[in-house]
Amino acid sequence: MPKITSTIILVFIFAFTSPRLFGQNNVNPSNTKETSKEWSPLLDETLSQWEVWTGVPEPSVKNLPPNYKKKGQGKNKTPIGLGDPMGIFKVTKEENGELVLNISGEIYAGLTSKKEFSNYHLTLLFKWGEKKYKPRLNRKRDNGLIYHCHGEHGAFWNVWKSCLEYQIQEGDFGDLYTLAGTTATIPVDDEGKWKPDSEKLKKTGRIIRRVDAESPYGEWTRVDLYVVGDSAVHVTNGEVVMAITNAKTKDGNKLDAGEIQLQSEAAECYMKDINIRPISEFPNWIKKETGFQ
């Protein structure tokens, strides 16, 4: 009997002192949006805060716009361009009234915010659909939250702008990709994974997340992006998986603001609860995880 009582007491103490479980000490619980009166929704039924850039369709894609003419080879292929004639991005409403962004994935495309943002916390819920398309039929489902987007549409693969990417791919939520010449400074281990206290640095290409924290297939994953100045932090289901500093454009200029793009990349998927709020510094729990001061 005494052993059982001791066990119960220990469990009780852990439960009520664990910040991860109860959101104490300014820690964001897994898959739960932080409470704030400053959230601004980015999703409405008409996608009024966004514009679409549609990339180059695969040869297998049917029912293309009648005015679209396939031209060029390789990187010189012509994108469909501004607009969404293929209906890649659509908003539906669930029975409870919640809006859901449906992304077909049939063609590479970007849903781009009309506004630029700096010093913010962006949050959304993400879930995979079933359909996959060429050229990724036999590869992992792929998508991305792209930030600090700037310049012309199509700078990368005739689709996305020059930017930084919070990778959303099966098994790889939270990796960083630098696209179209951008750079950042990330401490990494010998395997190229983010390691906050490492002296080894990487600045371009793919940088691997520290841990895997995404939800199983078919479930929603909470994606959070924190941006302060030219630093950013990727959070997956409440776990800090990546932190970067010293973001720069391809010309070496400080990169601390830009548009947001949501990708369509050959996999059906869904996003909802897309909100943004201003911040002036990283939360204390993130500072502790990243070593940011």
Domain boundaries, given as residue ranges, for the chain: 1-28, 31-290
The Cα 153–Cα 110 span in angstroms is 9
pLDDT for 32 equals 80
The class (CATH top level) of 31-290 is mainly beta
pLDDT classification of 21: cutoffs 50, 70, 90: very low
pLDDT reading at 150 higher than 60: yes
Query: Is the preceding peptide bond at 135 cis, omega within 30 degrees of 0?
Result: yes
pLDDT for 74 equals 61
pLDDT for 40 equals 98
If you average pLDDT over every residue of the chain, what do you get? 91
The Cα 55–Cα 78 span in angstroms is 8
Average pLDDT over residues 140-157: 98
pLDDT for 14 equals 40
Residue type, 216: P
Of residues 154, 159, 179, 145, the one with CA closest to residue 260:
145
Q: What is the pTM of this model?
A: 0.89
pLDDT reading at 26 higher than 60: no
pLDDT for 9 equals 43
Q: How many other CB atoms are found less than 10 A from the CB of residue 95?
A: 5
With b for 16 or more beta-carbon neighbours within 10 A and e for fewer, the 52-76 pattern comes to: bbbbbbeeeeeeeeeeeeeeeeeee
Query: What's the longest Cα–Cα distance across the chain?
Result: 80
Structure confidence by residue, pLDDT tens digits, 65-83? 999 987 766 666 899 999 9
Instruction: Give all strands (DSSP E) within the chain, no chain letters.
Output: 40-41, 50-54, 81-82, 89-93, 99-103, 109-113, 120-132, 142-150, 162-169, 176-179, 183-187, 201-202, 206-207, 221-228, 231-236, 239-248, 259-264, 267-278
With a CB cutoff of 8 Å and minimum separation 6, the contacts of 171 are 140, 212, 214
pLDDT for 263 equals 99
For residue 191, count CB atoms less than 10 angstroms from its CB and return exposed for 0-12, middle for 13-18, buried for 19 or more: exposed
pLDDT reading at 285 higher than 50: yes
pLDDT for 28 equals 52
Q: Return the higher-pLDDT residue of 20 and 173.
A: 173
pLDDT for 52 equals 99
Structure confidence by residue, pLDDT tens digits, 177-186? 999 999 999 9
Q: Return the higher-pLDDT residue of 238 and 3.
A: 238
The percentage of residues in the chain with a pLDDT greater than 90, rounded to a whole number, is 83
pLDDT classification of 11: cutoffs 50, 70, 90: very low
pLDDT for 36 equals 81
Of residues 281, 236, 245, the one with CA closest to residue 28:
236
Structure confidence by residue, pLDDT tens digits, 87-144? 999 999 999 999 999 999 999 999 999 999 999 999 999 999 999 999 999 999 999 9
Average pLDDT over residues 159-168: 99
Average pLDDT over residues 26-36: 68
Residue-level length of the chain: 293
